[in-house]
Structure 1
Amino acid sequence: MSEHRILVVEDNKAVAKLISSRINSELDIITKVAHSYEDAKAIMNENDSFFIAILDLNLPDAPDGEIVDLVLSKEIPSIVLTGTLDDDLRKSILSKNVVDYIVKEGMHAIDYVIHLIKRLKNNRDIKALVVDDTATFRHLISRMLELHKFNVITAVDGIDALEKIKEHSDIKLILTDYEMPKMNGFELVSELRKDFSKDMMAIIGLSANTSETLSAQFLKKGANDFLSKPFLNEEFYCRVTQNVEILELIHEIREASIRDYLTGLYNRRYLYEIGNNLHSNAVRDNLAIAVGMVDIDFFKKINDTYGHDVGDIALKHVAGLLTGHVRKTDVVSRCGGEEFCVILTNVDRQRALLVFGKMRKVIEKSEIQADGKTIKMTISVGVCTSIKNSLESMIKTADELLYEAKESGRNRVVIDI
């Protein structure tokens, strides 16, 4: 598949080897390396399916950038490496619709290449909305974003944009013009910020209007950034990348604050944060939820016998199996030690018993390998399905039922009547 292959064309064998080895080790992507125009041509004749190509602009058998034209003719997105750069050369490279150009100025250039490829890979999962009433400019921006692997959606004005967002609520990036019929850029930003904060959706305002205050007004309305038309390709991509990466960084910080570092499950704090909301919804709308407390039987014996490293493997193993048997609307968290809490939504008592019973059986049949030995384990589960006056009360009841499960022999599910 093309996403697993990158073509590197570079006549300097040391540089080519460095780029190739870093792509292999840091991105886990296969590279095909060519040191000349003819080598590259032969590789593509055999298989021209590549995620991207990294091309030296000046090769011994193609000194005037012919390799760029050849690779682009195969519809392979390309990053161009050049030893020198002036305005005329820059314009010539960009006119070919390459992904980017990079001046070879030491290790920084290689770092940039790796970061750019990572960015392109991540962009495939990001939806971007382009809002502009001018078809020519709408197409231009869409093409630039698509070149960097974004999933692009377009709208002709603010009203159309709001309809598109109803269809695609996972849009993360919006580029909107100011002067549009029906609803202008200011009005669109104001509407969007009612539902999407700056750390959920990045909005970049665009305009050819020369007003000195326009950029400030866009920002005050809630835009993350602003670009004046016309703009340089480099500035466009830098601003888009910067805004997207800020969203990703905020998401990473958020995830780190609500996740257990070992298992990746939600932590106790987030359990109560999201769980209280689920409980409130259940009380208000008369919906059914089930709270299960899960404990690994004789976990201390695993730690004492095989060591804490193996104990950690066991915790991650159980966490993965628990997660694999719930829906996206359910919540699985690690409460501490070998204890987990699972909240199932929209389930009655019979369904809850079935789900937790299946978890117990799957874990009983599973095993982990450590130091050449096979280790098996079981779990005990206490389940509360009665909607009490608080989530904490339901957890307490589930905990009492968990104790009953352990006292009555372990490796079983005890559910309230």
Structure 2
Amino acid sequence: MAAVASKLEKDILNLARIALSGRPQDVLQMVHRMAKAHRENAPELATGLVELMREAPTQASPLRRQTEAVLPTDADTRFSLLRIEEPPTLDHEPVFSVEVGRSLDRIVDERTHLDALLKVGLEPTRSAIFTGPPGVGKTMAARWVARSLNRPLLILDLAAVMSSYLGRTGTNLRHVLDYAKSMRCVLLLDELDAIAKRRDDRGEIGELKRLVTVLIQEIDDWPATGLLLAATNHAELLDPAIWRRFDHAIEFPMPDPHAIRAFVKAALSPYMEKSDEWAGIMAGTMAGKSFSDIDRDLKSARRLAAIRGGDLASYLKDLIRPDQLAKPERIALARTLAGERLMSQRAAHEFTGVARETIRGEPSKPKAKPGRKRKQDGEAQLSSGQR
């Protein structure tokens, strides 16, 4: 019993020391540890601490200017190191693969059911890393998570913290992370590979290798009150120690035809009636493109329609290159264009080069071989002479 009392006294002293240092995120971390440590020997205390964490003020606007919270800037350029989106906005609902969607839903569910986790001494996911090629929705996923949690999104392009004086780069990084820790937000470290490269890379200088150590320490110290996300297009460049610091690693694949169709439909539905039909067309002709590439093409078509006038469909048609499709794909394209009444059969024939009989599904008439036709004509003449 004396040992329990001694442990409790020590925890209270540590809590008081942290509180007096003015680090609110560390206070919450310590309160959580105390609730977990004393759940069995002091259940009433543990329950009371959990209630305090649950009732902790969240502020209507987490980025409301506080006297001690000043936006971090680079000492050389005085440019802001963060891009803040409050609230984060999306042009349309994102399209995720099944696995990615399930992982993102899990992160949001943990934050929205925080009470259930705290009661059993658990914390929600504190960090996750998004990997995958450019343009597959990593940044959009961060916006979606922040919007779902009703929290501001802070975006740090790690290339932006690189100072001309390398010794200041670590200071820039710490300023940004300390600022984000002081509020309930979602912080996205974009282009993580800019500073988190493998420390065994002989091409990197010592200062950049020390930045990896700084980043590892900051991730380890990240409070459960905030959510730290990171994104990289080059997962193979990351230091192995960085991987182990993140609670989750989520890989974003290139979109398949089903994802492309859903994405195009969501992007076009506010602007045209037959968005679903055109989405079906695009799904078969935009294979291999990222969401970012597809979005750029669709916005280009919309701009032309706005400037030159006319139906948006006529500009979407220019995005399709029938000459780059195999014959079966061109036939399928022509039949879809005509069958969905997006074009007349004649227009579909002229656009794709597919015969109108083929578009209608009629069997093509076999052409008689020239030699066979002459033989048939000769036999007919001979038969006529015999008569």
Please, what TM-score do these two structures have when normalized by structure 1?
0.27
Q: RCO (CA 8 Å, sep 6+): is it higher in 1 or 2?
A: 2
**Rg (Cα) greater in structure:** 2
Q: As a proportion of its length, which structure holds more strand?
A: 1
